[in-house]
Amino acid sequence: MVILLCICLILPQTGCANVSAGGDEKISVGVVVYSFDDTFMEEVRSAIKNTADKENVRVEIWDSQGSQNKQNEQIDQFIKQGVDVLAINPVDRTAAGVIIEKAKQENIPIVFFNREPIAQDLQKWDKLYYVGAQASMSGMIAGQILAEYWKEHPEMDKNSDGKMQYVMIKGEPGHQDVELRKKYSISYIEQQGIQVDKLAEDSAMWDRQKAKERMLAIISTYGDQIEAVIAQNDDMAIGAIEALKEQGYFTSDRTFVPVVGVNATLSAIQAIKEGVLLGTSYNDAQRQGQATLLLAKELAEGKNPQESGFEKETGFSIDQGHYIWVRYIKITSENTNDALRNR
Q: What is the per-residue pLDDT for 16? A: 33
Q: What is the per-residue pLDDT for 343? A: 64
Sign of the C-alpha dihedral computed for residues 290, 263, 114 and 329 taken in this order = positive
Whole-angstrom Cα distance, residue 86 to residue 75?
8
**DSSP code, position 301:** T
Residue 262 pLDDT > 60: yes
Whole-angstrom Cα distance, residue 40 to residue 57?
23
pLDDT category of residue 341 using cuts at 50, 70 and 90: confident
Residue pair 216/243 in contact by the 8 Å Cβ criterion = yes
**CATH of range 136-282; options 3.20.20.220, 3.30.420.40, 3.40.50.2300, 3.30.200.20:** 3.40.50.2300
- The C-alpha torsion from 36 through 40 and 44 to 49, rounded to 10°, is 50
DSSP states along 178-238: HHHHHHHHHHHHHHTT-EEEEEEEEE-TT-HHHHHHHHHHHHHHHGGG--EEEESSHHHHH
Q: What is the per-residue pLDDT for 340? A: 79
Q: With 0.85 as the threshold, say if the pTM is over it.
A: no
Range 52-78 average pLDDT = 97
**DSSP code, position 19:** B
Whole-angstrom Cα distance, residue 203 to residue 174?
11
Cβ-proximal residues to 263 (8 Å cutoff; 6+ apart), any chain = 39, 40, 233, 234, 280, 281, 282, 283, 285
More confident residue, 145 or 26: 145
Residues above pLDDT 70, as percent of the chain: 92
- Do strands 163-170 and 228-231 pair parallel, antiparallel, or not at all (unpaired)? parallel
Q: Domain 26-133+284-326 carries which CATH code?
A: 3.40.50.2300
Q: What is the per-residue pLDDT for 24? A: 54
**DSSP code, position 24:** P
Of residues 342, 310, 334, the one with CA closest to residue 324: 310
More confident residue, 306 or 15: 306
Residue pair 150/290 in contact by the 8 Å Cβ criterion = no
Neighbours of 317 (CB within 10 A): 12
Residue 80 pLDDT > 50: yes
pLDDT category of residue 342 using cuts at 50, 70 and 90: low
* pLDDT digit string, tens, across residues 281-297: 998 999 999 999 999 99
Range 196-203 average pLDDT = 98
Whole-angstrom Cα distance, residue 280 to residue 139?
10
3-state class (DSSP) for residue 337:
helix
Residue 255 pLDDT > 90: no
Q: Which helix (H) or strand (E) holds 261?
A: none
Range 105-113 average pLDDT = 98
pLDDT category of residue 4 using cuts at 50, 70 and 90: very low
3-state class (DSSP) for residue 321:
coil
Neighbours of 95 (CB within 10 A): 18
Residue pair 282/328 in contact by the 8 Å Cβ criterion = yes
Q: What is the per-residue pLDDT for 149? A: 97
Residue 253 pLDDT > 70: no
Per CATH, 26-133+284-326 and 136-282 having the same topology is answered yes
Range 314-321 average pLDDT = 89
pLDDT category of residue 9 using cuts at 50, 70 and 90: very low
Q: Where are the domains of the chain?
A: 26-133+284-326, 136-282
Q: What is the per-residue pLDDT for 320? A: 79
Residue pair 322/128 in contact by the 8 Å Cβ criterion = yes
Give the type of residue at 145: I
Give the type of residue at 284: D
Of residues 89, 100, 93, 97, the one with CA closest to residue 63: 89
